[in-house]
């Protein structure tokens, strides 16, 4: 738990029934935060994992930060390369953050044994193409339930009129799909890739309580 939490800049709480104390510590921990950013050069996008290090010139400070990122090439990818990149993200213990996503899952009321996955993609993190008063884009969405045999992939293309763009940027691209959970279902892994750049976002959801 410490390893997984450390990879994402978090902190693990375990072997304790004091959930209130853990929440209080997490809240206090977030009272002082700093946002650091950088822009990698074009030749550093090599489809590999790159480590990150943050140092502070002050003794006695515990610094927690994301330990690295995947530098996916920022240009259109072929179907084969896109599929391989999605598979790597599905297997990775780390979440990709180049494309902003929010995901949720619940039992599908229409299909017993299935789960209803909802993914909201932050359009502001996608590369849009402007033409004839429209902003167009497309994403590939991969959904995988651990313990099952297949990966479900969806492609969503969209065109947004100029007078609706502000609202769409605020609400995001909303996609819902149903998956067969199966008796041995584990976590749900969601990967979203931008068609235009190959940039990706991913997240893992626990289905144990579903």
Q: In 3D, which of 17, 8, 66 has the Cα closest to residue 37? A: 66
Distance CA 121, CA 134 (A): 18
At 167, the pLDDT band (50, 70, 90 cuts) reads very high
Residue 102 sits in the same domain as residue 162:
yes
On the CB side of 154, CA atoms within 13 Å amount to 17
Distance CA 100, CA 193 (A): 10
DSSP 164: H
Residue 42 sits in the same domain as residue 145:
no
Q: Determine the distance from the C-alpha atom of residue 85 to the mean position of all C-alpha atoms in its chain, rounded to a whole number.
A: 14
* Structural domain range at position 52: 1-71
Q: Which residue has the higher pLDDT, 119 or 97?
A: 119
Mean pLDDT computed over 29-41: 69
Residue 23 sits in the same domain as residue 85:
no
Residue 66 sits in the same domain as residue 93:
no
Q: Count Cβ atoms within 10 A of the Cβ of residue 205 and give its class: 0-12 exposed, 13-18 middle, 19 or more buried.
A: middle
At 210, the pLDDT band (50, 70, 90 cuts) reads very low
pLDDT for the residue 82: 57
Residue 60 sits in the same domain as residue 99:
no
pLDDT > 90 in the chain, percent: 27
Give me the chain's average pLDDT, please.
Answer: 80
Residue 10 sits in the same domain as residue 63:
yes
Domains contained in the chain, number = 2
At 74, the pLDDT band (50, 70, 90 cuts) reads low
Q: Count Cβ atoms within 10 A of the Cβ of residue 121 and give its class: 0-12 exposed, 13-18 middle, 19 or more buried.
A: buried
Which domain-ending residue is among 71, 102, 131?
Answer: 71
Residue 64 sits in the same domain as residue 84:
no
Residue 98 sits in the same domain as residue 145:
yes
Residue 55 sits in the same domain as residue 112:
no
Which domain-ending residue is among 19, 38, 71?
Answer: 71
pLDDT for the residue 175: 95
pLDDT for the residue 33: 73
Q: Which residue has the higher pLDDT, 190 or 74?
A: 190
Which domain-ending residue is among 27, 53, 71?
Answer: 71
Residue 100 sits in the same domain as residue 41:
no
Task: Please determine, for residue 118, whether its predicted confidence score (pLDDT) is greater than 90.
Answer: yes
Residue 15 sits in the same domain as residue 115:
no
Q: E strands along the chain, which residues?
A: 48-51, 68-71, 101-107, 114-121, 129-131, 134-145, 152-161, 173-180, 188-194, 200-205
Indicate the pairing of strand 173-180 with strand 188-194.
unpaired
Q: Which residue has the higher pLDDT, 95 or 2?
A: 95
Structure tokens at 133: 């008063």
Q: Which residue has the higher pLDDT, 183 or 123?
A: 123
Q: Which CATH number is 140's domain given?
A: 2.60.40.150
Residue 120 sits in the same domain as residue 31:
no
């Amino acid at each position: 738990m410490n390893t997984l939490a450390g990879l994402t800049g978090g902190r693990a709480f375990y072997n304790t029934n004091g959930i209130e104390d853990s929440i209080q510590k997490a809240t206090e921990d977030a009272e002082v935060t700093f946002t650091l950013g950088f822009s990698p050069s074009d030749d550093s996008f090599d489809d590999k994992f790159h480590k990150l290090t943050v140092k502070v010139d002050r003794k006695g400070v515990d610094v927690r930060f994301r330990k690295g990122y995947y530098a996916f090439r920022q240009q259109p990818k072929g179907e084969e390369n896109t599929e391989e990149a999605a598979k790597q993200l599905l297997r990775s213990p780390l979440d990709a953050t180049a494309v902003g996503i929010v995901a949720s899952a619940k039992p599908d009321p229409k299909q017993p044994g299935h789960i209803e996955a909802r993914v909201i993609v932050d359009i502001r993190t996608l590369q849009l193409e402007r033409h004839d008063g429209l902003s167009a884009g497309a994403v590939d969405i991969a959904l995988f339930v651990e313990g099952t045999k297949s990966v479900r992939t969806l492609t969503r293309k969209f065109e947004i009129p100029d007078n609706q763009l502000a609202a769409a940027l605020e609400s995001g691209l909303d996609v819902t799909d149903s998956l067969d959970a199966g008796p041995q279902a584990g976590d749900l892994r969601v990967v979203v890739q931008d068609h235009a750049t190959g940039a990706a976002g991913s997240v893992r959801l626990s289905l144990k309580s579903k």
